[in-house]
Structures are given as C-alpha cells and as structure tokens.
Amino acid sequence: MATRGDNAPIVIKRITISEEGGHHGGAWKVAYADFVTAMMAFFLLMWLLNATTEKQRQGLAEYFSPTVVRTESGQGGVGADQGNAAGNPAQAAAEGQQDPLAALNAHIQNQLKGIGAESMQMQNILRHVVTRVTDEGLVIELSDLVEEPLFTEDTAEPTAVLRQLTGIVARAIFRTRNQVAIAGHVRSYPAMLAKSPVWDLSNQRADAVRQLLEKTSLPAKRIQRVTGYADRRSQPANPAAPSNNRIELILLK
C-alpha cells in the first residue's frame, strides 16, 4: 500500500539567468578614481599657490613660456622665417645684404635665446636685456630691474647677476666680428647734492663691464671705446627710474 507521502507532487523550480544582467559593479570605481585624481590635483595646486611667493610663481610661469629677448622695435625673439640663417651671421648677412644689422640682431637674439633655454635662472637673467638697431650699430642694453640691480647701490661693484649676464652676452658677442663700444648710464640724483656722482659712476660702471668682458671670452682689442654719459640720456618722464641705470654694449658697424 502506498503511503500518503508517496502521492505528494514533485515541484521543479527553473532558475532563468539573464545574460543582460551580468556583472556591472566596477564602472563606478573608474569614475571614482578619476574624481579622486582630479581632487588631488586641485588640492596640490592650492597648496602650491599658498606655499610659493609671487616672484616664484612668476618664475614658474616664465619657465613654461617661450624665451623672448625684448627689442624696442616691438618684435621679440627670432622670427620663424629667419630659421637657421640667424645662427650663422655670415650666412644671414649674405641672405639679407640690404639690412646686415637686422641679420646681426637676429643672430644675437638667437644666441641669447639658446643660452636662455638652458635653465629657468638663465631666462630670468635675460629679462635685463633689450636689443635695438641704431645708426651706430646694434645696441645690447643691460638695465636694472626694480627688484634686481646690476650694481651695488651707488657703487661700481657688479652684482652676481651682472657677472652672470656679462658672461652670457660675451658668449653671444664672441661669435660676431664687430668691434665693441661700451657706454655707461645712471639715473639722476637729487639736485641738492653738493657733488653729483653721475659722471664718475657712469664711467666706473662702464669700465667695470669692460673688465668683466675681458675676463671672459672677448678679446681686449675688440673694445674700441668706453664712455660714461652720466644721466644725460635718462628717460625724460622719470629720470630717477632704476631702468636708467644701464650699460650699452654697441656692436659697431
């Protein structure tokens, strides 16, 4: 005789697995990792802005910017159309016989640009340099900055910046054949002084630069004259401005 339990129905449960419902739990991890990385970069930037001075930030900005030697013609650096010709003064002069000074200017700027690319410190030093073409020749002007003078105040003692700058410029000048003239200029002093130092100071500073050039790679015979102009060629708008403390190195025609 069959028992009661033998008549119980058998239930078969089928479990359907949907292929569309696969594993999808890792996508959020990628998005979260991107978010964490972005936040880390943001807080690192905030920390850097807080931990550095304005001068340091300016230096960083200049490091990631192209090195440009200023010119008073409003054109900075060496144009793309000058190419490799600017690196060779003889070739540049041959290709631009109508304006050899412009070719010389391009050559000097190219040399300074190459030297400035060596380090951020070199780029900062080259902020003191302006070049321009005059009837006399190519002028390489080295001038004070507000926060960075080239000489110890009221003396003819070169600062470390000027010593480095003179070495840089001498390397560029050495690759030319032009004779060199040196002109010293200083800012105006108060008229109430019993004896104004402008004449002595401009002459002494020009001669100090001559000595620095001769200690580097520039032959002494290439220097044709050393002149002090006192404050007679200062900026009319502000004769006492630090930028009037300057040295002009003139590559003569």
Global confidence as pTM: 0.61
Residue ranges of the domains in the chain? Answer: 68-252
What's the CATH superfamily of 68-252? OmpA-like domain (3.30.1330.60)
| CA–CA separation, 239 and 132 (whole Å) | 21
Contacts with 72 (C-beta within 8 Å, 6 or more apart), sequence order: 130, 131, 132
Report pLDDT for 234. Answer: 86
Q: Can you say how many angstroms the Cα of residue 17 is from the centroid of all Cα atoms in its chain?
A: 67
Report pLDDT for 58. Answer: 66
Report pLDDT for 110. Answer: 82
Report CA dihedral (57, 63, 64, 69) to the nearest 10 degrees: 120
Report pLDDT for 108. Answer: 86
pLDDT digits (tens, 9 = 90+) for 27-62: 888 888 889 999 998 888 888 788 877 766 666 665
Q: Give mean pLDDT, residues 132-154.
A: 93
Comparing C-alpha atoms, which of 189, 248, 252, 253 is closest to residue 213? 248
Asked which of 1-10, 149-158, 187-196, 208-217 is least confident by mean pLDDT, the reply is: 1-10
The tokens 């490799």 sit on which residue? 84
